[in-house]
Amino acid sequence: MNHIPKSVALGAGLVSALGFAPLDWWPLTLMCLALLLHLVSEASNLRGAMARGYWFGVGHFVVGLNWIAGAFQYQDAMPKWLGWIAVVLLSLYLAVYPAMASGLAWRWGRKSQAGFPLVFAAAWIVTEYLRATMFTGFAWNPMGVALIKLGALPHLSGTVGTYGLSGMAVLTAGAALALARQRWGFGLLILVPVAVLSSIPKTISQTRAVVAPISPLIRVVQPNIGQQDKHEKAFDKVNFEKLASLTGAAGRTPRLILWPEAAVPDFLEEEEWARERLARLMGPNDMLVTGGVALVEDREGYVVGARNSSFVLTPSADIIARYDKAHLVPYGEYLPMRPVLSAIGLSRLVPGDLDFWPGPGPQTTSVPGFGRMGVQICYEIIFSGHVIDRNNRPDFLFNPSNDAWFGSWGPPQHLAQARLRAIEEGVPIVRSTPTGISAVIAADGNLLHHLPYRRAGYIETRLPAARPPTLFARFGNILSLGFAFFLGALGIALGRFNR
């Protein structure tokens, strides 16, 4: 009968992922977390507790990461069915972290029904942080993202970070479990403030964006260029015409024009004609930020690598700044252990023979006439605490992305995580993607403007104002880990008090 709790945990994990975008059925996530807490607390030994957490994690990640399988539809070097193999294998690895959280909670918190959810929440915070940092890190869909639509509750991430918000999700589930067990004191102590925060609307409405009187005009372009057409030479002209058309005619007001990741296939630093073609789209006071590729040469002038970059161009066709993506996607932008894996027929998902090289990390660029801009390319935006140059705080973050890989589930999940970065750091975020979801996000995480998935269009608006640095913006994930320490210490103390 030992397999029954593990099967129930697997089923709970499968259902729990439905609380994330695009479905946003967050009550299911909390219910499934409560069931996990019950299963782990009832385990007879450490191994059983970890096994239940592990199978919950497997189910959770298989459903939540189903969009990864879609990326293999655009890779001819490997069979399409390998996509689902990749999803399952990745889930089998990622499930180690919920297993660790379950084991820690069972080991240190099982002696107190009131202390157990506190220790579990602390362990969940720590293991989510480890998931985001170990072995290059994979921070996609921390549990707190499921709470993004719950009124003012997500604003807690401005204090304790996204991983701390995940701990709040576990605490809330623990409180619901306490009520089910008729332990009214602990349950109400947690659920009442959570309910109050969830009912408070955000401070900025969707129709009243906070902008400075001289806030710059931005134009965000979404050309709806599918991944199947992106690297086809025959579509180069058509794709550029889409981008050019949506960029629009220059007016008297200076514009900051924002194009997606890898918007142009040309090598802008080497090809002057390509820069001049872009310059002709701009007015005399406009600036253009576009994704592209920068080549890396050795001392002899041979091309040995590439960088996934974002370039800032002037109307005189000059590149005045370049940001290189620092957090690259393994197997997507580079192939680890290339000599071994390529020999057995594996390839990276992005076409080409050259691996991408990482950049130095978050940087702030001064864009004349438009303020200070930080850039985080594509999935870099998911790494809580690693998106801002804290020594040179930007006025806004630009997140050019290529969500054309990600099917219908990936883009809304990506957007939800970007919204949490805005709340954490207190800066607006502007996203431009080829197929959506492009958006302008206020500094409180509110979605001010967006272009739906698979629809061509543009957003022309004033840039929202940044807020004063949040506590998280000042101290980063030390606050998340400090919150975990507080919860864990309190939970362990309750356990000893109840002996």
Provide the pLDDT for residue 404: 81
Evaluate if residue 344 carries a pLDDT over 50.
no
Matching residue, tokens 């869909």:
141
Cα(168)–Cα(165) distance, rounded to whole angstroms?
5
**Dihedral sign, CA of 272, 277, 278, 282?**
positive
Query: Where would I find the beta strands (DSSP E) of 265-402?
Result: 287-297, 303-313, 319-324, 364-367, 371-375, 396-400
Question: Taking each helix axis from N to C terminus, what angle separates 184-199 and 157-180, rounded to the nearest 10 degrees?
Answer: 140
Q: Which long-range contacts (CB under 8 A, 24 or more apart) does 449-454 make?
A: 449/220, 450/415, 451/220, 451/222, 453/408, 453/411, 453/412, 454/224
| Integer angstrom CA distances of residue 302 from 324, 333, 335, 353 | 20, 20, 20, 14
pLDDT confidence of 56, banded at 50, 70, 90? very high
Average pLDDT over residues 167-178: 94
Burial of 366 (0-12, 13-18, 19+ CB in 10 A): middle
Strand order, beta sheet including 371-375: 364-367, 371-375, 396-400, 429-432, 438-441, 447-451
Q: Does position 13 have pLDDT exceeding 60, yes or no?
A: yes
CA dihedral 381, 387, 393, 397 (to 10 degrees): -10
Whether residue 110 is predicted with pLDDT greater than 50 in this model: the reply is yes
Instruction: Determine what percent of the chain is predicted with pLDDT higher than 90.
Output: 72
CA distance 457 to 220: 9
How far is it, in rounded angstroms, from Cα 430 to Cα 401?
Answer: 10
Least confident among 77-86, 173-182, 393-402: 77-86
Element (H, E) at 218: strand 217-222
Q: How confident is the model at residue 208 (pLDDT cuts 50, 70, 90)?
A: very low
Is the model's pLDDT at 55 over the cut of 90?
yes
> What pLDDT is stored for residue 209 in this prediction?
46
What is the token pair recorded at 11? 């089923």
- Say what the pLDDT of residue 161 is: 97
| Alpha carbon distance 209, 470 (integer Å) | 19
Identify which has the larger pLDDT, 335 or 312: 312
Distance CA 182, CA 175 (A): 10
pLDDT of residue 192: 86
Q: For 135-151, what is the mean pLDDT?
A: 94
Q: How many CA atoms lie within 13 A of 331 on its CB side?
A: 17
Q: Give the model's pLDDT for residue 274.
A: 96
Q: Where are the domains of the chain?
A: 3-202+476-497, 217-464
Please, are residues 221 and 259 in contact by the beta-carbon 8 Å criterion? yes
Q: How many CB atoms lie within 10 A of CB 457?
A: 15
Quickly state the pLDDT bin for 113 (edges 50, 70, 90): confident
pLDDT at 76 over 60: no
pLDDT tens, 419-453?
999 999 999 999 999 998 999 999 999 999 999 99
pLDDT at residue 470 greater than cutoff 70 = yes
Look at residue 82 and tell me whether its pLDDT is greater than 90.
no
Average pLDDT, the chain: 89
pLDDT (tens digit, 9 = 90+) per residue, 219-268?
A: 999 999 887 666 666 678 899 999 999 999 988 899 999 999 989 999 99
Using a pLDDT cut of 70, give the percent of the chain over it. 89
Judge contact between 369 and 287, C-beta under 8 A: yes
Question: Hey, which bits of 121-190 come out as E strands?
Answer: none
Mean pLDDT of 17-36: 97
The confidence score (pLDDT) of residue 74 equals: 65
Contact residues for 362 (Cβ-Cβ < 8 A; gap 6+): 326, 374, 376, 386, 387, 388, 389
Name the nearest CA neighbour of 128 among 168, 82, 158, 164. 164
Q: How far apart are CA 119 and CA 179, in angstroms?
A: 18
Query: How big is the CA angle at 258 (ends 139 and 402), to the nearest 5 degrees?
Result: 40
The vertex-115 CA angle with 114 and 117, nearest 5°, equals 85
Report which of 212, 241, 226 is spatially closest to residue 371, judged by C-alpha positions. 212
Tokens 């970007």, located at residue: 418
Is the entire prediction scored with pTM above 0.85?
A: yes
- Cis preceding-peptide flag for 437 (omega within 30 of 0): yes
Q: Is pLDDT of 489 > 60?
A: yes
Q: Please give the DSSP secondary-structure letter assigned to residue 252.
A: S
N residues, the chain = 499
CATH second-level architecture of 217-464?
Answer: 4-Layer Sandwich (3.60)
Tens of pLDDT, residue by residue over 373-383, are 999 999 899 99
pLDDT of residue 294: 95
